[in-house]
Amino acid sequence: MRLIETLKFIVDNNVGKLAKWLRIMGYDTLFFNGSNDSGMVATALNEERVILTRDTQIMRRWVVTSGRLKAILIHSDKPELQMHQVINDLNLDCQFRPFALCLECNQPLLERSKQQVEGRVPPYVFQTQSQYMECPICHRIYWRGTHWQAMTRKLNQFAKYKQNEEEF
């Protein structure tokens, strides 16, 4: 069996919100924005990614039914419940590598010193934060502000939900 740590995803556009949350947790996740399912399937096969989709057609493809490609059919149309399903079906670690990837580009973030971000973040942020991360692709800078705290709370909620499920 493959280790949890190696799980990578490709998220269909009908469950697009999942991409952000999986990236927040640190899971390498591509967002598929095309209309050609074959393209998504090919990428998933080439890069050994798990497909997350609400499209039953994909589930009927030979590569999926034969087990060559792992795909998960998402049941709910609510992002929150979709996340619960993925976490439980794949036994995801909600605290896998939080905030290690750019939420836009899926790229590993690089640590930046305070000096390196001077003039590139709002002054009040610069005064109050000492740790920063930067995306090497889009150069967006991340810090542990209120947005970060809200996301951390959400990750904890997901983790708690998972524990509750396991008790039954």
For the segment 85-144, give every residue that binds Zn ion (CB under 5 A): 102, 104-105, 135, 137-138
- Shortest Å distance, C-beta 148 to Zn ion: 16
Please give the size of the binding site for Zn ion, defined by CB under 5 A.
6
**Strands of 29-32's sheet, edge to edge?**
29-32, 9-12, 50-53, 71-73
- Nearest distance in Å: CB 138, Zn ion: 3
The least distance separating Zn ion from the CB of residue 102, rounded to whole angstroms, comes to 3
40 or 135: CB nearest Zn ion: 135
Burial readout 19-35 (b: 16 or more C-beta within 10 A, e: otherwise): bbbbbbbbbbbbbbeee
Residue 74 or 135: the one with the smaller Cβ distance to Zn ion is 135
Beta bridge partners of 111: 133
CA neighbor of 8 nearest in space, from 54, 47, 58: 47
Contact residues: Zn ion, CB under 5 A = 102, 104-105, 135, 137-138
